[in-house]
Amino acid sequence: MEKLKEALKREAETFPGATVYYRESWDCDYFDIAGKFFAMLGENKEGEAIFTFKGEPEENELLREQYSFIVPGYYANKTHWNSIILKENTLDEKQCAALLKKSYELVVAKLPKKVRETLGE
């Protein structure tokens, strides 16, 4: 689990303009692009480690149906965000990195054009 968390943080930092830092007020690793969050590594109210990411609503539903460890986004809009309960996760690093990249792309697409242009996208 720690290996996956570190891999996701390293992966995110390769994305243009992205930063990952510990956000004390949320008690999580916060994945930031231009002041918006595109992913999070933290805990749910049961104290389970979770990875929260944005996705297309239809894809989010399919993932939840396919995998019992993928649940509606914790403390996020349940239509657009999912969380993976990491201790139950069977996805590999590459699959999780793809979900992270998609999340980043969806959040970047909603940023103002001027901000997107500074990212060299």
Per-residue pLDDT tens, the chain, 121 aa: give them: 899 999 999 999 999 999 999 999 999 999 999 999 999 999 999 999 999 999 999 999 999 999 999 999 988 899 999 999 999 999 999 999 999 999 999 999 999 999 999 986 5
Residue by residue, what is the 3-state secondary structure of 27-86? Answer: CEEEEEECCEEEEEEEECCCCCEEEEEECCHHHHHHHHHHCCCEEECCCCCCCCEEEEEH
pTM of the model: 0.94
